[in-house]
Structure formats: C-alpha cells, structure tokens
Amino acid sequence: MELRATAAIVTGGASGLGAASAAALTERGASVFALDLPASIESAAQIPGVRYIATDVTKPDDVRNAVIIASQSGVPLRTVINCAGIGPSMRIVGRKGVHDLDMYASVIAVNLIGTFNVLAVAAEAISATEADADGQRGVIINTASVAAYDGQIGQAAYASSKGGIVALTLPAARDLAQYGIRVCTIAPGIVETPMLATVSEEIRAGLAAGIPFPQRLGRPDEYSQLALAIIDHDYLNGEVIRMDGALRMAPR
C-alpha cells in the first residue's frame, strides 16, 4: 500500500516503538498524527513534521477527536499503528496479598481495550475513504508481546492484555476485510524502550544473553521496519508476527 500523501495514526507516538514508527512513516511521506498522554508529549523529543495530539486511548471521546483530526487532514487516513501500552507487574498471590484488581483492570483497559477502541474508531473513518485500484483502504497494526505466549511470573495482567490482542487479530481482519482494511499484529520480544530505561547494564546484559540470535536487545527502529514491511506487503493479513530473535521466555 502506498504511504505517500496519506494520513497515519500512531498511538504511544511520543516515545519508544511509537516514536520510531512515527519517524519511519514520516520519512515515507505520510502525514503522521502521534497520539499520547499530555505528559509524554511534553517530555518527548518531538519529530519534525509529526503532529502530536494529547489522547488517552481508554477514552472514546479522546480517540474520536484524534481520528477526526487525522481523517480531515486533506489526505485519506490509511494507516494505524497501536503502540500505546503499560507493563506493571504483580504476582497473583504475593507477600502483600492478592493481585490488585484495579491494577489488573487498568492494564487491560490501556493495552487491550485502548487498542480495540482506536482500531474500531479508526476503521470506521478508513472505511469511508475511497479505495485504491486494488480495493485497499488501509492497514491497522497492533502491538502484542511475546508475553502473550510466554508470560512470566508477575505478568498475569500484562500477558492477559497482550494475549487478547493476539486473539483479536484474526476476527478483526475478517470483520474489516469487506472494507479493504488489513489487520496484523507484531509481538516484540525484549526491545530497548523507555520501559527498560531504568534497568542496570548488568540486567540488560543478562536479558540479551537469553536471546538465541542476534544476542542483543531489539531496537525500536527494527519494529518500525517490520511495520513498514507489513504495510508494503498487501497479502499479509490476520497474522501475528513475533519479533524476538527466537526468544522463548523462561518462567522468571
């Protein structure tokens, strides 16, 4: 699918995987709208040419407003990359008692419901655009995690949310096929993102040592490279792609 002279939405676009995706889409000629929380946007190293919109993906009005802005930009909305997410950890039963239910609900709300909220509202807008010569109108790429398959101790909430995104992929692709909208998911392994910024070099080296090859942490630009490949490859649909260097997570 052609990106030049189209609009793209990237959630979590102020940092990490989202910022890398916003930069890559901009370089390919798309008009990019980066959605993130106000504090994240304020502290971000903003990318020239990217428009930042303060958005909480769990709030329908926020998302609808952002989609309206993107879809009324003068070029058709064609691409959505959902990167917004949180990753707190807690054991189901730990020293301080049972897993906090509000925390569990918050992770599901941001990672899974937020992803679905953006997917659904954006898909409605994309479906109203004129299709290209091949009947295509757009591509939606969601972000899961290897935790969806290999969730570790303390990752019950996170793994549940990412497993939901994996399970969403095929029915979403089937639902939206009639509108010429493809849906795929990337499931990254351990990637250099702000979530790892506070981790010591010793711990980072230990994480990298567990990856078969290449024996290092992934880079955000490798995520964006894969996202662009999905957009370019018109026959990729309804698929979840692991990007993890053949990593299979141990229990802890």
Residue 223 within a domain = yes
* % the chain with pLDDT above 90: 90
Please indicate whether residue 104 is annotated as part of the active site: no
- Rounded Cα–Cα distance for residues 89 and 15 (Å): 21
Is residue 8 pLDDT above 80, yes or no?
A: yes
What is the sign of the dihedral through the CA atoms of 152, 157, 158 and 162?
A: positive
pLDDT at position 206 is 82
In this prediction, residues 177-204 reach a mean pLDDT of: 86
User: What domain range includes position 67?
Assistant: 7-243
Mean pLDDT of the chain: 95
| Averaged pLDDT for residues 88-103 | 95
Q: At what angle do helices 16-27 and 220-232 cross, to 10 degrees?
A: 50
N residues, the chain: 252
Give me the mean pLDDT over the 42-58 stretch: 96
Domain count, the chain: 1
Mean pLDDT of 72-91: 96
Alpha-carbon gap, residue 11 to 2, rounded angstroms: 21
pLDDT at 1 over 70: yes
Query: Who has greater pLDDT, 236 or 250?
Result: 236
Confidence of residue 236 (pLDDT cuts 50, 70, 90): very high
Inform me whether the pLDDT recorded for 18 exceeds 90.
Answer: yes
Quick one: three-class SS letters along 169-193?
Answer: HHHHHHHHHHHCEEEEEEEECCECC
Match 């994309």 to its residue by tokens: 126
Among 52, 104, 149, 158, the one annotated catalytic:
158
> Do the domain assignments include residue 250?
no
Q: Is residue 251 part of a domain?
A: no
What CATH number is associated with residue 179? 3.40.50.720
Tokens at 33, concatenated: 């709208």
**Beta strand segments in the chain, E:** 7-11, 31-36, 51-54, 77-82, 93-94, 97-98, 138-143, 181-188, 240-243
The Cα–Cα gap between 13 and 31 comes to 13
- Write down the residue that tokens 């959505």 correspond to: 80
On whether residue 2 sits in a domain, the answer given is: no
Residue 207 placed within a domain: yes
In a domain, 1, yes or no: no
Q: Rounded to an integer, what distance in angstroms lies between the CA atom of residue 223 and that of residue 83? A: 10
- Predicted confidence band at 193 (pLDDT cuts at 50, 70, 90)? confident
pLDDT at 199: 65
The answer to whether position 239 is within a domain reads yes
CA dihedral 168, 50, 232, 111 (to 10 degrees): -10
| Integer angstrom CA distances of residue 193 from 36, 67, 86, 252 | 15, 26, 12, 20
pLDDT digits (tens, 9 = 90+) for 139-184: 999 999 999 999 999 999 999 999 999 999 999 999 999 999 999 9
Please check whether residue 36 is in contact with residue 85, taking contact to mean a CB–CB distance below 8 angstroms.
no
